[in-house]
């Protein structure tokens, strides 16, 4: 028999799955969602089912060692990653994993979302690092996630996707939305060739606002890399310039202007060979 609270959790998981699918954050049967029921049980999405078309009765109840306790279907093979997050984050009651295409593009390119650019991202997530690649469905993935999850509510997974955790399944889903939105804005800014970063002072001010918005950040933001000493288990490392006028990320147009002023043109090996091939071809024609 399911309690009223459990019924609500099942309905919320169905709704989050529907939104993940509707927004294109998952394709086919990708992605998985889980929520703590109590100290001994959690409930999770089944394997081999599109997250856009689930019903509340499809969910699987498991213990914190991943053993199935109830449900007709089997849990996702990514369940060990969820279990690892619950072990490391007693404050987190829900985990959402998806493959949102822009965020996953950054994860494939090996570019973390760690620049201080948008105030709402600094206050709700801080930095979003990339957990090293681990073969899906093997212990490598939980191992890679363990290193960062204590200090971060959202991670990119190298060559794979993204994962978030929070107090409720809806808030974990909203963090996934924020990551994808941030990836989209970052991509546009980089294509336009300009990315103005928030200063360290502004980052510190935003850090102070986190409490006011009721966001229990897992770890403080370190905008000074020296103070963080590379420890991403206890500190969120955000790239932010020391002063509001300093630029950490040069503009692409100014780099190009600089190149033409110096009379120097820089080409990659591929661009150079393409130019030579073109020249040879036009000589022959």
**Minimum Å distance from CB 82 to Zn ion?**
11
| String marking each residue 141-180 x if it binds Zn ion according to CB under 5 A | --------------------x-------------------
What is the CB neighbour count within 10 angstroms for residue 46? 18
> Catalytic residue among 6, 78, 195, 239, which?
78
Cβ distance to Zn ion smaller for residue 29 or 204:
29
- The DSSP secondary structure of the chain, one letter per residue, reads ---HHHHHHHHHHHHHHHHHHHTTS--TT--EEEEE-SSSEEEEPBSSS-GGG--GGG-EEEETT--EEE-SSPBPTTHHHHHHHHHH-TT--EEEEE--HHHHHHHHHT--B-B---HHHHHHT--B-EEPP--TTSTHHHHHHHHHHTT-SEEEETTTEEEEEESSHHHHHHHHHHHHHHHHHHHHHHHHT--PPPPHHHHHHHHHHTTTTT---SS-EE-SHHHHTT-TTT-EE-B--SSSS--SS--HHHHHHHHHHTT-----HHHHHHHHHHHHHHHH-
Respond yes or no: is residue 78 known to be catalytic.
yes
Angstrom distances, CA of residue 80 to CA of 63, 87, 138, 146, 176: 11, 10, 8, 11, 20
Minimum distance from CB of 176 to Zn ion (Å)? 12
- Phi and psi at 94, nearest 5°, equal -150, 150
In the complex with Zn ion, which residue's Cβ is closer, 17 or 161?
Answer: 161
Site string for Zn ion, 111-130 (x = CB under 5 A): --------------------
Considering only residues 1 through 30, tell me which ones interact with Zn ion, judged by CB under 5 A: none
Residue 170 has a CB neighbour count (10 Å cut-off) of 15
C-beta nearest to Zn ion: residue: 161
Q: Based on CB atoms, which residue is closest to Zn ion, 126 or 161?
A: 161
Nearer to Zn ion, 113 or 237 (CB): 113
Nearest residue (CB) to Zn ion, 2 versus 137: 137
Residue closer to Zn ion by CB (options 154, 161) is 161
The least distance separating Zn ion from the CB of residue 133, rounded to whole angstroms, comes to 12
Q: Catalytic residue positions?
A: 78
Binding stretches for Zn ion (CB under 5 A): 161
């Amino acid at each position: 028999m399911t309690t009223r609270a459990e019924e609500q959790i099942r309905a919320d998981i169905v709704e989050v799955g529907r939104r993940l699918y509707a927004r294109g954050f998952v394709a086919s049967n990708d992605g998985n969602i889980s929520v703590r029921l109590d100290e001994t049980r959690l409930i999770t999405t089944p394997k081999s089912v599109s997250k856009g078309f689930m019903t509340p009765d499809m969910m699987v109840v498991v213990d914190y060692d991943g053993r199935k306790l109830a449900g007709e279907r089997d849990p996702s093979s990514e369940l060990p990653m969820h279990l690892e997050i619950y072990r490391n984050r007693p404050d987190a009651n829900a985990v959402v994993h998806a493959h949102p295409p822009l965020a996953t593009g950054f994860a494939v390119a090996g570019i973390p979302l760690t620049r201080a650019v948008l105030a709402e991202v600094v206050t709700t997530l801080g930095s979003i690092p990339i957990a090293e690649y681990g073969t899906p469905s093997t212990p490598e993935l939980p191992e890679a996630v363990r290193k960062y999850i204590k200090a971060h509510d959202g991670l990119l997974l190298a060559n794979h996707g993204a994962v978030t955790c929070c107090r409720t399944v809806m808030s974990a889903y909203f963090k996934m939305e924020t990551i994808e939105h941030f990836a989209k804005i970052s991509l546009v800014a980089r294509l336009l060739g300009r990315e103005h970063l928030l200063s360290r002072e502004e980052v510190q001010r935003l850090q102070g606002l986190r409490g006011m918005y009721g966001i229990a950040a897992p770890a403080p933001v370190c905008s000074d890399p020296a103070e963080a000493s590379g420890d991403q288990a206890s500190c969120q490392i955000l790239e932010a310039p020391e002063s509001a006028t300093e630029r950490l990320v040069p503009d692409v147009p100014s780099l190009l202007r600089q190149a033409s002023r110096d009379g120097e043109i820089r080409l990659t090996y591929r661009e150079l060979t393409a130019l030579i091939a073109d020249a040879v071809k036009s000589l022959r024609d």
